[in-house]
Amino acid sequence: MNLFIITIKTNLFLDKKHSNCIIGDQCNLYAKGIGLTINDILRNQIQPNTSFGNQSTLIQSAVGITMIMFLIGFINGIFSFITFRNKELRRVGCVLYLLASSVTSLLTITMFTIKFWFVILIQLYSTVNTSILRTDCAFIGPILKVCLHLDGWLNACVAIERAVNVAKGVKFNKTKSKYVAKWIIFIIPILIIITIIHEPAHHELFEHTTQKYKFANNNLTVNMSIETEHNLLCVIRYSRSVQTYNTFTLFFHLLLPFVANLCSALFIIFGTARLRSGAKKNQTFKAHIIKQMKEHKQLLISPVILLILAMPRLILSLVSGCVDPSSNPWLYLCGYFISYTPPMLIFVVFILPSELYTKTFKEEITKWLQRIRRRPA
């Protein structure tokens, strides 16, 4: 007996050009808007009701990469938190920003992992509690946005305070810096949440059916049966005006911190060069600028690298919803993963280039290990 299955997609009444824009059946349609989510990228790659071992190489690799990113991000967050919680370092506001950024990075990588696994579980198993899925759909995505935006603004605050330190010189007030930092760390998340507070209302679970026609050929008799699959997807419904507003806020939260970082770095380099040229008049101002650029090159390189890493998030948010991710899933998946790497780089960007922070990190780790050894068995 020969058995073969034909899956009847519910949007066959559409031409091929528009079929990628529509999800659902003829009675229940969802027209995709601008932007690609992890749901869109993985939706056609996951085989429902199939064990993980029988999933495609793409899905198995995506799971492996996600868990590696979680491990690296978690270690990065813990090491950064251990370093910046040092009482001596926390005398200035700059370190408070970095401490908050460490907490944000831990939250980001945790939400990122939870979001990924929810997408996998929704597609793999139809028995997952709907209320849990609805909560994930409505809130995990917006929380991730808040974390990513907050991380960028905290990095900008670090750069701005360093520039203020150079401008003030010996008049820089550490106590006032710490006081201002506490208020800014409190206010920025509130302002970010206000800019995306509408998001949960536009996220919803979308259910549609797919019919499978099974034909069993037994000698001269052909038996046909129909199986109906129920699919649950987390979809986003934006009006044109809301989509325009979202695009504006995305550019605002991505580019403004970058500009603040870059301008602060240039101010530090030129400001320090001006002070040094006044003290050491045997060298030209240009020579001092070149020297400062060599000494502070990480201040220029870091924001550029972070912007480049964040660009895939911008591109995925603006790409047409009619794009078929299954045509090149690896490209879109890699772009999605790359966009979440900036919060994982606090240790590399801020601690390793600094002798003071590196020394503090080693001292804190040594103290922690000593406390473990002193504990009674």
Q: What is the pLDDT of residues 313-365, one digit of tens each?
A: 888 887 766 677 777 889 888 989 998 998 888 998 888 888 889 999 999 99
User: How far from each other are the two terminal CA atoms of the chain, in whole angstroms?
Assistant: 66
Q: What are the phi and psi torsion angles at 352 (to 5°)?
A: -60, -40
Q: What residues form DSSP beta bridges with 227?
A: 212
Q: What are the phi and psi torsion angles at 219 (to 5°)?
A: 55, -115
Q: For residue 231, give every residue at least 6 positions away whose Cβ sits within 8 Å of its Cβ, in sequence order, or none.
A: 48, 207, 208, 209, 210
Q: What is the pLDDT of residue 104?
A: 95
pLDDT tens per residue across span 160-210: 998 898 888 888 888 899 999 999 999 999 999 999 998 888 877 776 666
**Which string of DSSP letters, residue by residue, matches 271-326?**
HHHHHHHHH-TTS-HHHHHHHHHHHTHHHHHHHHHHHHHHHHHHHHHHS-TTS-GG
| Long-range contact set of residues 64-68: C-beta below 8 Å, sequence gap at least 24 | 65/337, 66/112, 66/113, 66/116, 66/117, 66/337, 67/113
Cβ atoms of 174 and 91 within 8 Å: the answer is yes
Burial class (CB in 10 A: 0-12, 13-18, 19+), 319: middle
Site of tokens 């979308």: 206
Q: What residues form DSSP beta bridges with 218?
A: 221
Structure tokens at 95: 């370190």
Fold of domain 2-374? Rhopdopsin 7-helix transmembrane proteins (1.20.1070)
Distance CA 112, CA 302 (A): 23
Apex 132 CA angle, 249 and 318, nearest 5: 25
Handedness of CA 19, 20, 25, 28 (dihedral sign): negative
Distance CA 231, CA 236 (A): 16
pTM, two decimal places: 0.82
pLDDT tens, N- to C-terminus, the chain (377 residues): 433 333 334 444 444 444 556 665 555 555 555 667 787 788 778 777 777 777 888 888 999 999 999 999 999 999 999 999 998 888 888 999 999 999 999 999 999 999 898 888 777 766 666 777 777 778 888 899 999 999 999 999 999 998 898 888 888 888 899 999 999 999 999 999 999 998 888 877 776 666 555 555 555 555 555 566 666 677 777 788 888 898 899 889 989 999 998 898 888 888 887 877 766 666 676 777 777 777 777 777 888 888 888 888 888 887 766 677 777 889 888 989 998 998 888 998 888 888 889 999 999 999 888 888 877 65
Q: What are the phi and psi torsion angles at 135 (to 5°)?
A: -65, -45
- Which DSSP category does 92 fall into? S
Q: What is the pLDDT of residue 314?
A: 82
Q: What is the pLDDT of residue 2?
A: 39
Q: What is the pLDDT of residue 131?
A: 76
Q: What is the pLDDT of residue 209?
A: 64
Q: What is the pLDDT of residue 80?
A: 94
Q: What residues form DSSP beta bridges with 23?
A: 30
Q: What is the pLDDT of residue 203?
A: 77
Q: For residue 299, give every residue at least 6 positions away whose Cβ sits within 8 Å of its Cβ, in sequence order, or none.
A: 159, 162, 264, 265, 268, 269
Q: What is the pLDDT of residue 359?
A: 92
Q: Report the greatest alpha carbon distance in the chain.
A: 101
Distance CA 329, CA 342 (A): 22
Q: Are strands 22-25 and 221-236 parallel, antiparallel or unpaired?
A: unpaired
Distance CA 140, CA 122 (A): 14
* Residue boundaries of the structural domains of the chain: 2-374
Distance CA 325, CA 41 (A): 5
Site of tokens 């997408």: 119
| Closest to 261 (Cα-Cα) out of 294, 312, 299 | 299
Distance CA 370, CA 274 (A): 46
